Amino acid sequence: MKSAARAVVQDTFGRPLGSLRLSVTDRCNLRCSYCMPEAEYVWLPRADILSFEEMATLAGYFADLGVDKVRLTGGEPLLRQDLARLVRLLRQDRRITEVALTTNGVLLADHAQELYEAGLDRVTVSLDTLRPERFRQLTGRDEFSRVLEGIESVGKTGFDNLKLDTVAIRGFNEDELGPLIEFAKHYQAEVRFIEYMDVGGANEWSLEKVLSQERILDLLGQQYGRIIPVPERGTAPAQRFCLPDGTIFGIIPSTTAPFCAHCDRSRVTADGVWYLCLYAMSGVDLCKPLRLGASAMEMRELIRSVWTARHNRGAEERKALERVGLRSGGLIDIDRLREDPHLEMHARGG
């Protein structure tokens, strides 16, 4: 379908189908306590994992209906062999104007060059601490120096819009907000603090551990002085702020000020299940019809009909529960998670 004929598909709240997160694997080489703290999980069956060609075909159907940004995530996307090949396949579709990657950075130094040459537009590295010992404590792995190498490789390769995503956790890294901003400055990167979310269930979330946007601004204000909001938002989840010296940083207040009203993103798991919301309990299996030979028209119609019926506002609903005192622990019971691996954040992509 040519771009001129592209349908603009909107859900029941008028939110367009805009940004697609493709989780390329549910496996990860770190065990962050807020995401994937257990040693072993019920993994998605290998035979069900989509090939890169299948992922690109699906992305094409989404592009027919308005998607113009694709973010590769996981699990850890760089665990997937030759990820650059998927980037090249996606880049062949002119309607997809941006292909981005979210990674923990451990394997980034080995792959930054080939990803850049394949046409990857943006890299976001998750980095929650600058202290090697804290990193080991948080992730269960001694990989801090490799993450640093990964971050350094991004600039050397030619990428110019590095983002660093930090999950801000009360009692864990609130003393590192300033140092992380300074670190990001050094690499011409922009740091974004993400409020700790109660996604999945094995992640030991509690409201007390959430370092709120308000508190983040308060702590940074004490250190830097007056902080001014940058007036823009659109469908981007981050609210950006400016320090007195002009440094920009972002906050994603997913827990205290959810951005459901503008959410144009949806997620496809590595085995082709499509989730309309990070908090959704079930998704739509796109792998089955694809492998059974559904036509392009049938696939498009399936995606279109599901999106036009979308009414999810998962983060706002969680917030509403909080108001009546019913938001205490994780979202999903651990036994239920063991039965359905899709329900964890590492399966559906953060």
Residues engaged in binding ligand SAM (CB under 6 A): 28, 34-35, 73-74, 76, 102-104, 126, 165, 167, 194, 196-197, 199, 203, 345-346, 349-350
Distance of alpha carbon 94 from alpha carbon 76, whole angstroms: 26
CB of 104 to ligand SAM, least distance (A): 4
Q: Which is nearer to ligand SAM, 111 or 346 (CB)?
A: 346
- Per-residue CA distances from 317 to 161, 254, 331 (Å): 33, 12, 12
Provide the token pair at 251. 């906050």
CB of 2 to ligand SAM, least distance (A): 33
Q: Which is nearer to ligand SAM, 78 or 276 (CB)?
A: 78
CB of 125 to ligand SAM, least distance (A): 7
CB of 124 to ligand SAM, least distance (A): 7
User: CB-based contacts of 187: which residues, under 8 Å, 6+ apart?
Assistant: 151, 152, 154, 155, 162, 164
Distance of alpha carbon 203 from alpha carbon 34, whole angstroms: 5
Residues in the chain: 350
Q: Which is nearer to ligand SAM, 31 or 240 (CB)?
A: 31
User: CB-based contacts of 106: which residues, under 8 Å, 6+ apart?
Assistant: 29, 30, 76, 78, 141, 143, 146, 147, 150
CB 142 within 8 A of CB 179: no
Distance of alpha carbon 177 from alpha carbon 249, whole angstroms: 11
CB of 53 to ligand SAM, least distance (A): 22
Q: Which residue is nearest to ligand SAM (CB)?
A: 350
CB of 166 to ligand SAM, least distance (A): 8
Q: How far apart are the first and last CA of the chain?
A: 30
CB of 34 to ligand SAM, least distance (A): 4
Q: Which is nearer to ligand SAM, 167 or 302 (CB)?
A: 167
Q: Which is nearer to ligand SAM, 125 or 306 (CB)?
A: 125
CB of 206 to ligand SAM, least distance (A): 11
Characterize 69-81 residue by residue with b for buried, 16 or more Cβ atoms within 10 angstroms of its Cβ, and e for exposed.
bbbbbbbbbbbbe
DSSP state of 257: S
Q: Which is nearer to ligand SAM, 209 or 313 (CB)?
A: 209
Q: Which is nearer to ligand SAM, 302 or 347 (CB)?
A: 347
CB of 202 to ligand SAM, least distance (A): 10
Q: Which is nearer to ligand SAM, 24 or 89 (CB)?
A: 24
Distance of alpha carbon 239 from alpha carbon 231, whole angstroms: 8
Distance of alpha carbon 276 from alpha carbon 59, whole angstroms: 15
Q: Which is nearer to ligand SAM, 143 or 165 (CB)?
A: 165
* Beta-bridge mates of residue 20: 70, 266
Distance of alpha carbon 119 from alpha carbon 98, whole angstroms: 9
